[in-house]
Amino acid sequence: MRDDVIICRCEDVTYGDIVRAVERGLTTTEELKRILRCGMGPCQGRTCSRLITRIIADKTGRSIEEIEHPVVRPPTRPVEIGVLAGDDEDRRGTGAPAGDDEG
Of residues 26 and 45, the one with the C-beta less far from ligand FES: 45
Asked if 66 and 42 touch (Cβ cutoff 8 Å), the reply is: no
The least distance separating ligand FES from the CB of residue 51, rounded to whole angstroms, comes to 9
Give how far the C-alpha of residue 40 lies from the chain's centroid of Cα atoms, to the nearest Å: 3
d(CA 23, CA 38) in angstroms, rounded, equals 16
Residues that bind ligand FES (CB under 6 A): 8-11, 38-41, 43, 45, 47-48
Of residues 16 and 41, the one with the C-beta less far from ligand FES: 41
The least distance separating ligand FES from the CB of residue 27, rounded to whole angstroms, comes to 18
DSSP class of residue 3?
T
Of residues 10 and 56, the one with the C-beta less far from ligand FES: 10
The least distance separating ligand FES from the CB of residue 48, rounded to whole angstroms, comes to 3
HSE-up (13 A, CA, CB side) for residue 83 = 15
